[in-house]
Amino acid sequence: MDIRNIAIIAHVDHGKTTLVDKILHQTNVFRANQDTGELIMDSNDLERERGITIFSKNASVVYKDVKINVIDTPGHSDFGGEVERVLKMADGVILLVDAFEGPMPQTRFVLQKALQLNLKPIVVINKVDKPNCRPDEVHDAVFELFFNLDATEEQLDFPTFYGSGKNGWFNSKNEQSEDITPLMDGILQYVPAPKVPEGNLQMQITSLDYSTFLGRIAVGRVARGSISEGQPFSLMRTDGRIQKSRVKELYIFEALGKRKVTEVLAGDICAVVGIEDFTIGDTIADIENPEALAIISVDEPTMSMTFSINNSPFFGKDGKFVTSRHLRDRLMKETEKNLALRIEDTDSADSFLVYGRGILHLGVLVETMRREGYELTVGNPQVLVKYIDDKKHEPYENLVVDVPSEYSGKVIDLVTQRKGEMLIMESKGEMQHLEFEIPSRGLIGLRSQMLTNTAGEAVMAHRFLEYKPWKGPIPGRSNGVLISKNQEKTTGYSIDKLQDRGKFFVDPGEDVYTGQIIAEHIKPGDLIVNATEPKKLTNHRASGSDDATRIAPKTLLTLEECMEYIQQDECIEVTPKNIRMRKVILNEDERKKSSKSMQSEAVG
Q: Binding site for GTP: residue ranges?
A: 13-18, 126-129
Contact assessment for residue 84 and residue 296, using Cβ atoms and an 8 Å cutoff: yes
Q: Which helix (H) or strand (E) holds 110?
A: helix 105-116
Torsion of CA 256, 262, 266, 272, to 10 degrees: 60
| β-strand partners of 98 | 126
Binding site listing: 13-18, 126-129
Residue 456 Ramachandran class (φ > 0 left, ψ -120 to 50 alpha, else beta): left
Cα–Cα nearest to 473, from 577, 375, 592, 568: 568
Contact assessment for residue 517 and residue 505, using Cβ atoms and an 8 Å cutoff: yes
For every residue of 424-439, DSSP letters joined together read EEEEETTEEEEEEEEE
Cα–Cα nearest to 396, from 105, 168, 128: 105
Q: Measured between alpha carbons, how far is residue 173 from residues 125, 159, 169, 176, 467 in Å?
A: 11, 11, 11, 9, 43
Cα–Cα nearest to 42, from 24, 63, 68: 24
Cα gap 66→569, rounded to integer Å = 59
Contact assessment for residue 360 and residue 559, using Cβ atoms and an 8 Å cutoff: no
State the Cα angle at 180 between 85 and 33, rounded to 5°: 95
> Amino acid identity, residue 10?
A
Q: Tally Cβ neighbours within 10 Å of residue 340.
A: 22
Q: What is the 3-state secondary structure (H, E, C) of 175-197?
A: CCCCCCHHHHHHHHHHCCCCCCC
Q: Which helix (H) or strand (E) holds 160?
A: strand 160-164
Cα gap 19→402, rounded to integer Å = 24
